[in-house]
Amino acid sequence: MPSRDHLPLVYSCSGCSSAAQMANHLAIALDRRGLAEMSCIAGIGGDVPKLVRLAQSGRRIIGIDGCALACVRNCLARHGVEPSDYHLLSDHGVRKRYQMDFDPEEAERVLIGMAAALAAGGAVQG
């Protein structure tokens, strides 16, 4: 398998709401398309040394949070890491709902914008 060290790291929320699950879906999609390397935010929050070192390695970081609780941003901040590119899905018009799945069409719309910006080498915020 070729090295993915040149790719940005992507961390996502994966909580119980529809927005959280969309955040996780988006991070997986960026990883599978070869646009980012997904890493484990639970490992950062759990102080797993190998994963904390990876987050602190200086690679570009994409953070995707489902809601304003900002679990990804806060987990990274505990270790002095700030995302280079940060997405709060409510800023993309995504609503947080409980006991419901996210809207796949809405997820695809958000993903297209993120993927296009990454492929162009530009910032992914917006």
Model confidence over 25-47: pLDDT tens digits? 999 999 999 999 999 999 999 99
pTM for this prediction: 0.92
Strand order in the sheet with 9-12: 37-38, 9-12, 61-65, 85-88
For residue 59, pLDDT over 80 is answered with yes
Evaluate whether residue 19 is within a structural domain: yes
For residue 99, pLDDT over 80 is answered with yes
Joined together, the tokens standing for residue 88 give 């709060």
Evaluate whether residue 124 is within a structural domain: no
pLDDT 10s digits, 75-96:
999 999 999 999 999 999 999 9
Number of domains in the chain: 1
Residue 72, domain extent: 9-119
